[in-house]
Each structure stands twice: as C-alpha cells, then as structure tokens.
Amino acid sequence: MRVYPDYRYNDGYGKYVLGTTHYDGDYPLEGWSGYSEYAEHDFASIAKSKGFTVFVDWSYWYNDEPFRREGNHIWLNDGYTTAVYVP
C-alpha cells in the first residue's frame, strides 16, 4: 500500500488519508507491478484482522480498469474504493 504523505480534512469524515494498493513483483527489482484489485482486498483483510472497521467497495470513483498488460504493468481495478476506519 502506498499512503500519500498528507491528510485531508472534511467536516463529515474528519481527518482522512488517501492511498493506493498494488503488488510489486520481483522485489526489489520491481520487474512488474499491478493487480490493484487483489491488493486492495488483501489490505482490507489485513486491516479487518487487526480490528479496524473496513468498508469494502465503499464508493465508486469511476476509475475502473479491466484486466490487461501494458509493458510491466498489470491493470485490474473495479473502480470502487475501500475505506478503513482508524480511530
């Protein structure tokens, strides 16, 4: 997961942080990266196992990417975001 370094604030949500998920293959050489959808669901499972409240496919962001390969990147995303509540 890559968390962006700054938080945002909203009266309804309070402080929140945006991040992305993907896998890097052949680490540390990073011969390929992608499979964001699978990485998102794994991240949600890890967060849930640690006691955090998880909202899978919480909101649709219109950025879906069907499975395809472009060079060393493997695209796969359903366009929905998962939210994790961290008190």
Phi, then psi, of 25 in degrees rounded to 5: -90, 155
Task: Tell me the mean pLDDT in the region 45-72.
Answer: 94
For residue 24, give both structure tokens. 């890097």
Per-residue pLDDT, 86 = 86
Q: Is the pLDDT of residue 58 over 70?
A: yes
How crowded is residue 23: how many other Cβ atoms within 10 Å of its Cβ? 14
Which of the two residues, 28 and 39, has the higher pLDDT score?
Answer: 39
Task: Collect all residues with Cβ–Cβ distance below 8 Å to 17 and sequence separation of at least 6.
Answer: 3, 4, 6, 7, 8
Residue 41: its pLDDT value, please?
94
pLDDT at 20: 85
How many domains are there within the chain? 1
Question: What domain range includes position 31?
Answer: 2-85
How high is the mean pLDDT of the chain?
89
Instruction: Check whether 23 has a pLDDT greater than 80.
Output: yes
Do the beta carbons of residue 19 and residue 3 sit within 8 Å? Answer: yes
